[in-house]
Chains A and B, each alone.
Chain A
Amino acid sequence: MILWLRRNLFRSIWDSITTIVFGGIALWFIWISIEFVFITGRWEIVEVNLKLFLVGRFPEELMWLIGASMVAIAFWVAAVAGGSPLGTEPRLRLAERIVDYVRRFGLIFALAILLVVLSNSLDSLLWVGLLGIGVFAGRVVGRMRRDNKIIQKLPGIIWQPMIATPAIALVIFTLLESTLELWGGFLINFYMALISIILCFPLGLLLALGRRSSFPVIRFICTAYIELIRGAPLFVLLLLAGVALEFFIPPTISPDAVFRGITVFTLFTAAYLAEIVRGGLQGIPSGQIEAGKALGLSTVKINSLITLPQALRSVIPAQIGQFISLFKDTTLAGVALNLFDVMTVGKVITKQDDFLGQGLIYESLIFVGLLFWVVSYVMSKESQRLEKRLGVGIR
């Protein structure tokens, strides 16, 4: 213990001074944080408005649809993650495995418990349980895909839609049952990010391939698109979609703000994704392509069977990073397109009659930050873990 202290905190006089100064700052900071969270903070503003934060003004009687969609989405994500044949992990015993899961996803559990406690209802506990079951079922199905000889034979083009169908069907059903104006809160941030991620993927791939194509015209078009989008601030593009889109489409259609947001996020992220995928494609030795040509494969087959799978695999961490930043950027849509998203909720609830002028902006914004932080942090840690498992940068 003393040895550890000497080695890590008090190696020399300067080291000791630094330790004492920074230790003082850290202790002071920890103290005010604890004092604020447990003593002076007035968290009833979050407790009262929890539903607004999470789903906005979504009708109470349709809430089960959101819960069901979340379970289906959890199933889908777990099935994709569990079925990935990436790397090999050592077999762990049950106890070790539980420790591993708690370390990786403990923050998510903690957030779920916090939300259940804040919501004061047994229903929410039930939904959290169902979410857990959804994740577990997805993982089992994903593992079957990886290990079962018969299911392995199914081509991806059939398998991927199969595991996605419940989620997509439920989201569309929710959309049909309610109107988009009722959507709000964290739900809208989550859905906008999710849908944009799915939609930007094919576009990004095409742009990346187009930028490396041997056709000069296509190369020019793709390069121009990518560079124009990357030179523009997302916020201005969103404002443009809100104010100026009317000018560019026939007057008979006027898309909802959520659709405008999703369109801009998709077009924007596709340009960045294209650059990431291009980086992956450049890392592939030309021998791979030449081998494909020697086997007499067409360009389409070389891309879809040889280069793209390797390129996409090597840039998974960078893609996740881009998706995290897309998820965080969905807050911009709230301001630019007047959506009732979680940031907007956080700002307006301090002007409610019960809380007006009491200076509760700290409480409400910190809660919003917590929601984003937990999700982004867990995702970025998972992507680092994946990076290590894929051995990117080590080879």
Chain B
Amino acid sequence: MSPLSSVSARPKFWRDVRFLRWVFQLLVLAVVFGILYWIYGNYQTNVERSAVPTDFGFLDNPASFTIPGTDFDQSSPVSAAFVRGFQNTMLVAVVGIIFSTIVGTLVGIARLSKNFLVKTLASAYVEIIRNLPLLLLITFMNLAVVLQTFPRIENAWQPFDLFVISNRGLALPWFEGSGLILLLIFAASIVVSLVVMKIERARADRTGQKSRAGIFAILIIFGFLLVGWMLLDYSWTLPFVDGRGTTGGLRMDPSFFALIVALVLYTSSHVAEIVRGSIQAVHKGQGEAADALALSPGQKMRIIILPQAFRIAMPAIGNQYLNLTKNSSLGATISYFELTQIAQITVGNGSPAVPAFTLTLFIYLAISLVTSLIVNFFNRRLALVER
């Protein structure tokens, strides 16, 4: 018998790695639960001491504040205020994302321009905006630009008689009539134009002729809108000054305008850097191949470089979209009625702080999750399918 066989194949349990791993994990878990329990205990005692409700019953209480320019009044429930805040946050997020993508892409391309002046201006834009605090930009837009430089409503700027710009907000020409029907027509036109684009592309691929999908799509969308306008008797309204306010057109709150401009400036400077980096990361051979095929510089950028650059840029740009959505909470500092501002006001009006802010945080978390799901979906669509 060899001496080894007397040693048990299994170690004693306190020296068994598998056992020790679980002991360690359970210890960490116990510590984390301990901390959470301590916090929860503190919460319970503090709540009992000051008799603050812990449930979400406050959502049915009257909000006792008004949102100017809407039908939200003193007696509306707090829950309606949160819905309103959510809508405003989403509005800022969507508008901000659209504009910062456009501006950011243009500036990012401009930074790589062969024209010295364009390149320098684009670099200056990015380097100046990117290194300033966002809160400073928002405060500056609100206090300095809108409230101080824009004229009072009595002598508002009215360029071409189309816009009304004053420190009470901006008004643009807009369509009149039911917004829903207009939206449906617009959606239908997009669907039809997508189908037509697909057919046209297939035809171009088959015959080798030049594809005119883009022009077709634009024509179809405009045609739909025009026909819808004529048939449904749509009209558009121009804003004009009416006493202390404006009538007609689409009115924008001054705080909304300041917030959107600051967010778009800030986010687009980040997007521009990402776009520039991604364009530079596209393999050099791709551009050379486009040159060899005698594509024009515009075609080269549009057909060859940008699609590949966006594939690289997508995750980083998605992160910027998330940041923009979260940064819209800074609208609260200039009294724009978005989610955070609503939470702050309702807490100030006597709603319990912990449930109100928990609700707010969860709404932001949900928005973040949905946004990142959408970005991931596009990311997967764009991703290179490797063979």
Contacts and interface: CB of A to CB of B under 8 A. Distances in A.
A22 B139 contact: no
A239 B43 contact: no
Interface string B341-359: 0011001000001100100
Contacts of A11: 114-115
Nearest to A330: B133
Interface in A228-258: 228, 230-236, 239-240, 243-244, 246-251
Interface in B281-323: none
Contacts of A251: 45-46, 49
A11 B114 CA distance: 9
Contacts of B115: 8-9, 11, 15, 18-19, 22
B195 interface: no
A226 B117 CA distance: 43
A373 B46 contact: no
Given A365-B136, A369-B132, A232 B365 contact: yes
B140 A328 contact: no
Interface in B1-40: 21, 24-26, 28-29, 32, 39
Contact of B118 (A18, A234, A362): A18
Given A231-B365, A231-B368, A239 B344 contact: yes
A368 B136 contact: yes
A380 interface: yes
B63 interface: no
Given A215-B21, A231-B364, A328 B133 contact: yes
Interface string A341-372: 00100110000000000010110010011001
B364 A233 contact: yes
B46 A247 contact: yes
Interface residues of A, number: 53
Contacts of A9: 115-117
Given A232-B361, A369-B140, A361 B148 contact: yes
A215 B364 CA distance: 30
Contacts of B39: 248
Contact of A236 (B46, B117, B139, B361): B361
B357 A243 contact: yes
A193 to B, nearest CB: 11
A66 interface: no
Given A233-B364, A236-B329, A247 B135 contact: no
How many B residues are at the interface, by size bracket? Answer: 35 or more
Contacts of A365: 136, 139-140, 143-144
Contact of A372 (B21, B47, B131, B360): B131
B47 A234 contact: no
B374 interface: no
Given A244-B354, A380-B131, A343 B25 contact: no
A329 B32 CA distance: 29
A175 B26 CA distance: 40
Interface in A39-57: none
Given A18-B118, A231-B365, A373-B132, A217 B29 contact: yes
Interface in A1-40: 8-9, 11, 15, 18-19, 22-23, 25-26
B144 A361 contact: yes
A216 interface: yes
A343 B135 contact: yes
A246 B46 contact: yes
Interface string A161-174: 00000000000000
Contacts of A376: 131-132
Contacts of B365: 228, 231-232
21 contacts: A9-B117, A15-B114, A18-B117, A22-B117, A217-B25, A221-B29, A228-B365, A233-B326, A233-B329, A236-B329, A236-B360, A236-B364, A246-B46, A331-B136, A343-B135, A343-B139, A347-B139, A365-B140, A365-B143, A372-B131, A376-B131
Given A231-B368, A233-B364, A376-B132, 10 more contacts: A22-B121, A23-B117, A26-B117, A215-B28, A217-B29, A230-B368, A232-B364, A233-B327, A247-B46, A368-B136
